Amino acid sequence: MHKSIVVIGSSNTDMIVKASRIPHPGETVLGGKFTVAAGGKGANQAVAAARAGGKVTFIARVGDDMFGERSIIEFARDGIDIEHIIRDPEAPSGVALITVDEKGENSITVAPGCNARLSPRDIEKAEKVISSARILLVQLEIPFETVEKAVEIAFAHNVDVLLNPAPAQPMDDAFLKKVSLITPNKNEAELLTGIRVDDELSAAKAAGILRNRGIKSVFITLGAQGVYTSSPEFRGIIPAFPVKAEDTTAAGDVFNGVLAVSLSKGECLLDAVRFASAAAAISVTRMGAQTSAPYRAEIEEFLKMQG
């Protein structure tokens, strides 16, 4: 069996209102459908990876409350190893308030709760599972020092690190040199490189800067345009699959989780990106974060229909 994927990150409960548009400050927009769904970038990526056939361990903190309880039950149902999920009696589970407009665009406010308390010490306790993984997948919704500790352990044991640099923040070269693969969107790529990314040329320039900072493979997600990929094997845009977007929440997370699975199985980069892009395309046609992550058979079927 292929080696495991360790995902370290946030777990939230998403409260979503679908409205005609996202309100301006001080404005109330009436009408809308309300749903509660499991979310958090780390949890979304772990679930997406597990459903796509990955052997996944998730390291996170959840509150000792009904949201935390429900999250753990659902992770286990998806076949995720939950041994390193900590129940925190001193802080609530993370919560995100999400408004989705009729074009599927979203606006999100997060109360991180116990996600902000996932510590380097928690990561040290999981060193054994990190050191034996094929890929470590991390994002930035938990304290940066915790991400640094995880990346340091992975790097010391020659484990590939896939970094989804979201929410974006500046990072130094010493840290980025330990990252094997990075998946910024346009805005995150601009924050990391100073290059405004709006087409293939600017994406290539931004990717070049990130490669020069020591990262082997760069994937800049460009929404409906596709994924600009820069790696030793390939440079260029891998096109997205055209679908009608209902809700873009977690599309990037699905892409990252499924990309990690394909790479953990040793698939070539182009196939891995295409498979992850297909999963993301399916996810935007559905509401919610984890609820939108497709299963492996659905991705394979979707690709077959694309020809």
User: Which tokens sit at 236?
Assistant: 């260029």
Q: Both ends of the chain: CA-CA distance in Å?
A: 29
Q: Residue 224: left (phi > 0), alpha (psi -120 to 50), or beta?
A: alpha
Beta bridge partners of 238: 227
Q: How far from chain centre, in Å, is Cα 241?
A: 19
7 and 141 in contact (C-beta within 8 Å)? no
The Cα 169–Cα 229 span in angstroms is: 21
Total residues belonging to the chain: 307
Q: How do strand 5-8 and strand 56-63 relate by DSSP bridges? A: parallel
The Cα 120–Cα 219 span in angstroms is: 27
Q: How far from chain centre, in Å, is Cα 279?
A: 13
The Cα 80–Cα 46 span in angstroms is: 8
Catalytic residue among 64, 65, 253, 271: 253
Residue entry with tokens 């995100």: 96
Of 101, 226, 215, nearest in space to 165 by CA: 215
Active site residue 253: yes
The Cα 307–Cα 305 span in angstroms is: 5
Residues annotated as part of the active site: 253
